[in-house]
Amino acid sequence: YVEGVAETPTSWWLAVAGGLLGAAAHFANAAPDVAHDRQLGVLGLPQRIGTRASMVVALVLLAVVGGLLLTKIEASDIQLTASALLVAAPILGGFGLVVANRIERPAFVLVMVAAVADVALLVVAS
C-alpha cells in the first residue's frame, strides 16, 4: 500500500488478454525456426507440434484475444464493426495461408499484423 495512491485491481480480462497475446507471440516466433530448433535439441511445445500447428495455435489465440477485447470496448456499432474487421482480416488471411501450406514468411507477417491489431484493441479497451 502506498499512501495517496488508490488501489485499483487489475481486471481479469486484461490479464487473460495479455497472457494469451504472449503465448500467441511465442508460438508465432518459434514457428519459423522449428526445424532448426529440433536439430539443436530444443523440444518445447512449438517444436513438438510443428510449424503449421504452431501458426494455427498463434492464430486461434489471437482470435480469442480479439473477441475478448471486442466485448470490452465501448464504441458505436460502426466502430466495433471496423475493429472486428481490423482484427479478423489478418487472422482469416493467416488461416488461408496455413491451409494453402504457405506457412513461412507470409503467414508470419499476417500473425504479426493480427497481434498489432489486438494490442491496439488492448490499449483502447483498457
- pLDDT tens digits along 40-50: 999 999 999 99
Cell of 42: 530444443
Cell of 60: 486461434
Q: What is the pLDDT of residues 106-120, one digit of tens each?
A: 777 888 888 888 888
- CB-CB contact of 13 with 68 (8 Å): yes
pTM for the model: 0.83
Average of pLDDT values for 10-26?
89
- For residue 5, pLDDT over 70 is answered with no
- The per-residue DSSP string of 1-19 comes to --TT----PPPHHHHHHHH
User: How would you class 60 by CB atoms within 10 Å of its CB: exposed for 0-12, middle for 13-18, buried for 19 or more?
Assistant: middle
- For residue 104, pLDDT over 80 is answered with no
d(CA 13, CA 76): 21
Q: What is the pLDDT of residues 67-102, one digit of tens each?
A: 998 888 888 888 888 888 988 998 888 888 888 887
pLDDT of residue 50: 93
> 97: which DSSP letter?
H
pLDDT of residue 7: 57
pLDDT of residue 3: 59
Residue whose entry in the numeric block shows the C-alpha cell 460502426: 78
Top-confidence residue, 74 or 3: 74
